[in-house]
Structure 1
Amino acid sequence: MRKTEKVLEHLKDMWYNRNIPKHFSREAPVMEQNPILKLPLSLDSEIPLYSQLMGIIKRSITSGALKVGDLLPSEAELCRAYDISRNTVRQAIGALEEEGFVVRKRGKGTFVSDPNTRRKGVQYSFTTEISQLGKSPSSTLVDFAVITPSPRIVALMGLEPGVKVYRFTRVRNVDGAPLILETSYYPEYIYPNLTRELLETHSFYSLLYHVGVIPFSASDTYEAVVLSPHEAQLLHCAPGSAAFFHQRRTTTENGHIYEYTTSYMRADRVKLDVRFQKGSTSFMRTVD
């Protein structure tokens, strides 16, 4: 047994003392070669750290330095390389996954996604989606409350008995004009002490990113409906106008549903395009 231990120790020493360039660490001799870790991040910049990290990873992908299927550094490696928090890394990676640049595989890591199989055009975040269309997003908060959910909401979200939820209704505006009437439900425990004031001044998805709640998948349905007088009034159109009724349930990586949202979208300003090709489906939602 002692002889075996000595052999293993000798092999370990040979590994650590081999000829490795000085700028590589012993702990991660292969991953340190990742091009992401060669680009600078400024701790003194006014640009948020997560945005800087997103830019670094995007440039590595779009420049071809990272290829489809390449593995990104782990959260721990990015934290260590840039001296940033795990939440900052999660916010950046979550946003990149939302935009379709990367895909996370449970137990394996985060990889560069194939642009030919990305689900294009629909983002988890309204702000991100509209900004990418070159338009100006804004929101008007109509109602905010902490409620005991109805049996229907409990069933849709798979909630435990007694769990309170946030319910808030917003009018989503594009270039200042109402486009979507949206009501969302979230378990209170995912972001305790949320206030109306905080919701009016921050993107709720950004707040969730900061506490590590990151969307992993979503299930959407669309129906053709007509607007009631109340809905039409909030959307500045005539009662009986055509609309899309959209429902979404969003889950985390562990499969927990943390969001249920219903939306009425003005059909005169929203167009849905679906393109099918071998091995992929491309879904595009555009706004006039």
Structure 2
Amino acid sequence: MPAKKSKPSRDPRLQALMPGDGDATPRYLQLARKLADAIQGGSWKPGDALPPERVLCEELKISRVTLRMALDAVEEQGLIARRQGAGTFVTRHIEHPLTSLTSFTDTLRRKGYEPGTHWLERQLRPASAEEIMRLGLSPQAEVSALTRLRSADGKVIAYERSVLPRRVLPDPQAVGESLYGWLDAHGMPVVRALQYFRAVNVDKRLAGFLEMKEGAAILRVMRIGYARDGVAIELTDTYCHGDYYDFVAELNR
């Protein structure tokens, strides 16, 4: 009796991962590259579960060792996470390019996420000493202070505090989900920015907002944004949840 032929996969995403016999690259690297490209290209969405290892091995005609080496490589990139007893899932990482000024809202939507904002503070107040220095303000200046939690598909991934001179933003309540969108609409876009990165440990209050352990390491990004005339109009501190946020820089020689 002839051997039964395995049925082709009904999921075209698996067919696209099939290593090529004519490629001299090791099969696990072929699979790792194709899976990473598929995730970054949106074929596999954040939160999607990969098929069980047995199914992947059968569909892709590879050994369990080859599969696990490929998954190890993709996991090292932070694109998937293995949960014991549950399976392998696509992670919710947000890549934010360092070479362009793109708003948080636009970045998430381009990646297929639904952005969200939970306001903690929107008020006018006297500028602090650091804000006076960073933004070049007079000692008696007032600023619009905006503090919010930023989320992707309902998951909080960043705590953000922005300060702008009152002359730039006279009514902090006027800002909706996108500060940069508001500035663009009112003819005051941020056209250049300096960003400073520092690893810090979260305090109890911040840990509660980000659902992290107190004292855990987190990336603090301080940005100073400049208008067309070269005047600083924005000072923003963002505390980025490391499990969900990546910064990417392209270097050229």
Shorter-chain TM-score bucket reads 0.5 to 0.7
CA contact (8 A) 1:242 1:266 kept: no
Partners of 1:139 and 1:236 in 2: how far apart?
Answer: 16
Structure that is richer in helix per residue: 1
Q: Which structure exhibits the higher relative contact order, with contacts defined as CA atoms closer than 8 Å and separated by 6 or more residues?
A: 2
1:261 aligns with 2:243: no
> Do 1:229 and 1:239's aligned partners in 2 also have CA atoms closer than 8 Å?
yes
Identical aligned residues as a percent: 23
Aligned to 2:207: 232
Distance 2:247 2:178 in 1: 25
Residues 1:237 and 1:218: Cα distance change in structure 2 (over 3 Å): same
Identify the residue that residue 207 of structure 1 maps to in structure 2.
182
Q: Alpha-carbon deviation of 1:122?
A: 4.8
Q: Which runs of 4+ in 1 moved over 4 A?
A: 119-122
CA spacing shift, 1:142–1:275, aligned 2, 3 Å = same
The answer to whether the aligner puts 1:132 opposite 2:110 as a matched pair is: yes
CA contact (8 A) 1:138 1:174 kept: yes
Aligned 8 A contact 1:220 1:247 in 2: yes
Q: Which runs of 5+ in 2 are unaligned?
A: 1-96
Residues 149 and 273 of structure 1, relative CA distance in 2, 3 Å threshold: same
Helix, strand or coil at the partner of 1:142: strand
Which of residues 188, 203, 206 is equivalent to 2:166? 188
Kindly tell me: are residues 194 and 145 of structure 1, through their superposed partners in 2, closer, same or farther at Cα, counting changes over 3 Å?
closer
Deviations 1:255-284 (A, max 9, x none): 010000001111122223333221xxxxxx
Cα distance per residue 1:163-189 (max 9 Å; x no partner)? 210111100001110000000000111
* Aligned pair partner of 2:252 in 277, 284, 288: 277
Distance 1:218 1:247, change over 3 A: same
Distance in 1 (alpha carbons) for counterparts of 2:172 and 2:159: 21
Cα displacement (A) at 1:191? 2.7
Aligned to 1:151: 129
Measured against aligned partners, the alpha-carbon deviations of 1:110-166 in whole angstroms (never above 9, x if no partner) come to xxxxxxxxx766534110111112211111001122111112110011113322101
Cross-structure match for 2:66: none
Matched, 1:241 2:219: no
Aligned twin of 1:112: none
| Displacement of 1:202 | 4.4
TM-score, length-normalised on structure 1? 0.51
Letter in 2 for 1:125: S
Residue in structure 2 matched with residue 223 of structure 1 by the alignment: 198
Give the letter for the 2:210 counterpart: L
Which residue of structure 1 aligns with residue 150 of structure 2?
172
Q: In structure 1, what is the Cα distance between the partners aligned to 2:188 and 2:196?
A: 23
Q: TM-score, normalised by structure 2?
A: 0.58
RMSD between aligned alpha carbons?
A: 1.8
